[in-house]
Amino acid sequence: MILAQLRAGRMLTRGLVVAVGVGAAGGLLTACGGKPDIDITTYAVQSDPADVLFNEGLANMKAGRFSEASRKFEAVDKEHPYSEYARKAILMNAWVTYRSGKYIDAVNSAQRYLNLYPSTDDAAYAQYIVGLSYYRQIPDVTRDQTASTQTIQAMTDLVNNYPKSQYVEDAQAKIRFARDQLAGKDMQVGRYYQERKEYLAAINRYRDVVENYSNTRQVEEALARLVECYYALGLTNEAQDAAAVLGHNFPDSKWYKDSYNLLQSKGLKPRNNPGSWLQKAGALITGGSSS
């Protein structure tokens, strides 16, 4: 069927070219004869049918020719707008541009699909492509983490808007990774301040990790760094409190052992300070440590 349509399309194109050539030649001959007011008719070559363009896009995609596949899918969308093939082509274009590493284009295509068809069965997949495109742009923690924030937002939208989707489990894993990246960035900045003995600035960063990223792997070190910073400032009650929260949540941790030994060097031990922000955060850590 598709091959027959392709052959028919080629025959139509050849026929149009011949018609144009004959018409043009006839016009020239008539003009040479001295007769004015002769119009030369220009024939526009018709576009290929939507199904032909779409299947050509699929063939290119399967062959790994993603750029050509993208051009075919874009042609479907442009030449046959709002058709069923155009709807499918927008989504397929989002996928091939994502596979090509053109993440901005992938986000744009997937977002366009969501704007036009938010209630279709494929909408969850379009949202997933948005999240994946941001996820693939997450750099190491030494660099700007805007992509991590975008990943969290996109994947959270997927979880909230399409809770029964098959992509929810992976979306949640991507959210945890991106949150860990944001916490890691805070830790990197906090360590920088701590090395410069700017302890209050460091404490603010570590506190952000403890309060806002309690279920990441960064929180353990953040508590230990709080012990060190409070201890360095002579705030022994706060240092003991941080160590108590650390020991309660991570009793076998190397970080807790180091914090305990630091306090012991001054004859101190971990001790709870009821009502402190650390005690409240400690309850959050305990509640989120299994998630």
d(CA 33, CA 209): 88
Q: Is residue 266 part of a domain?
A: yes
The answer to whether residue 273 sits within a structural domain is yes
In whole angstroms, what is the distance from residue 24 CA to residue 119 CA?
A: 52
pLDDT of residue 100: 97
Q: pLDDT tens, 186-212?
A: 999 999 999 999 999 999 999 999 999
Please tell me the total count of domains within the chain. 1
Domain region containing 214: 206-288
- Residue 107, in any domain of the structure: no
Instruction: Fill in the DSSP letter of residue 83.
Output: S
Quickly tell me which residue has 């360590």 as its tokens.
Answer: 191
In a domain, 69, yes or no: no
| Residue 5 included in any domain | no
What are 152's two structure tokens? 């969290």
CA torsion 200-201-202-206 (nearest 10°) is: 100
Backbone angles phi, psi at 88, to 5 degrees: -65, -35
Distance from C-alpha of 161 to C-alpha of 156, rounded to nearest angstrom: 8
pLDDT at 283: 78
Tell me the CA distances in angstroms from 11 to 45, 49, 80, one per residue in order: 12, 14, 21
DSSP secondary structure letters along 169-227: HHHHHHHHHHHHHHHHHHHHHHHHHHHTT-HHHHHHHHHHHHHH-TTSTTHHHHHHHHH
Per-position pLDDT tens, the chain of length 291: 433 433 433 333 333 333 333 333 333 333 444 444 444 333 334 579 999 999 999 999 999 999 999 999 999 999 999 999 999 999 999 999 999 999 999 999 999 999 999 999 999 999 999 999 999 999 999 999 999 999 999 999 999 999 999 999 999 999 999 999 999 999 999 999 999 999 999 999 999 999 999 999 999 999 999 999 999 999 999 999 999 999 999 999 999 999 999 999 999 999 999 999 999 888 778 654 433
CB 85 within 8 A of CB 57: no
Q: What is the pTM of this model?
A: 0.79
In a domain, 51, yes or no: no
Structural element, H or E, at residue 15: helix 2-32
CA 225 to CA 28: how far, in whole Å? 88
CA distances from 262 to 35, 238, 246, 271 (A): 106, 13, 13, 14
Cβ pair 90, 76 in contact under 8 A: no
**Residue 228 domain-assigned?**
yes
Q: Residue 279: inside a domain, yes or no?
A: yes
